[in-house]
Amino acid sequence: MHKFEMPQEYVKRVVGRQGRAHLCETFDASKTALIVVDMQNFFMTAPYLAACPIAQEVVPNVNRLAKAMRKAGGKVVWLQNLAPWESEESWSVARQMYTAEKAKQRWEAMQRDAHGFQLWPDLEVREEDERVVKRRYSAFIQGSSNIENVLGDSGIDTLIVTGVATNVCCESTARDAMMLNYRALMVADACATATDAEHAATLGNFYLYFGDVQTTDEVIARL
């Protein structure tokens, strides 16, 4: 699991601005959703192109959070990334970031019937949970998914973001959520990415400017 501690300089700056260290000191569970981002085989294990094996280490914390959220009366939403472009033209800039061979590998591995698309088998997904398919890094950007409808139907105004990768789809989704007026929190020990440095950079910046960062134990205690 990533080694991470929020710099005290950042905490002082946040307290100086908002008067407290945590934006989410309390939760109304009925208006809160746990968002589990892209914990699919493609992002969890070799030999897949985007494999981030350290993400396997946060699975127990994600399961703990999901259990606590259900018990408190909140919503659990599992996001799954589908093949990121419907055609070569629909997201051509992203496609240009891969060689032709690697673009083909990603496309094939992220189809609905592909092993790469499926959720990691150790995740404790329940029938009452929501499943949302997205086509971009952020679940909230126009045309990516129906997540706003799913959340709106349940009156959700607070999101607890977990998953992989911290600095890609987790960050993109959490930032856009804040821009759309959701309270957004990223869970430091329930997100993962390629390196400790990337993980820390995202969490520090998110805490300073976009929302809250807490640990699994802190979130569960507040639920």
For position 93, what pLDDT does the model report? 80
Question: Could you tell me which of 16, 4, 35 has the C-alpha nearest to residue 215?
Answer: 4
Measured at the CA of 175, the angle between CA 144 and CA 37, to 5 degrees, comes to 55
Least confident interval from 19-28, 81-90, 148-157: 81-90
Count the Cβ atoms, other than its own, within 10 Å of residue 188. Answer: 25
Residue 84 has pLDDT above 70, yes or no: no
The predicted pLDDT at position 105 comes to 84
pLDDT of residue 54: 97
The pLDDT of residue 19: 98
Contacts of 198 (CB under 8 A, 6+ apart): 165, 166, 167
**pLDDT tens-digit readout, 62-76:** 999 999 999 999 999
For 34-51, the pLDDT digits (tens) are 999 999 999 999 999 899
Averaged pLDDT of the chain: 95
- Model confidence pTM above 0.85: yes
Catalogue all structural domains in the chain, each as residue range(s) with its CATH number. 26-222 (3.40.50.850)
pLDDT value at 151 more than 80: yes
pLDDT at 222: 97
- 178-210 pLDDT per residue, tens: 999 999 999 999 999 999 999 999 999 999 999
pLDDT over 70 at 88, yes or no? no
Query: Residue by residue, what is the 3-state secondary structure of 115-153?
Result: HHHCECCCCCCCCCCEEEEECCCCCCCCCCCCHHHHHHH
Residue 215 has pLDDT above 90, yes or no: yes
pLDDT tens for residues 3-34? 999 999 999 999 999 999 999 999 999 999 99
Computed on alpha carbons and rounded to an integer, the radius of gyration of the chain in Å comes to 17
Mean pLDDT of 95-111: 84
For residue 87, name the pLDDT band (cuts at 50, 70, 90). low
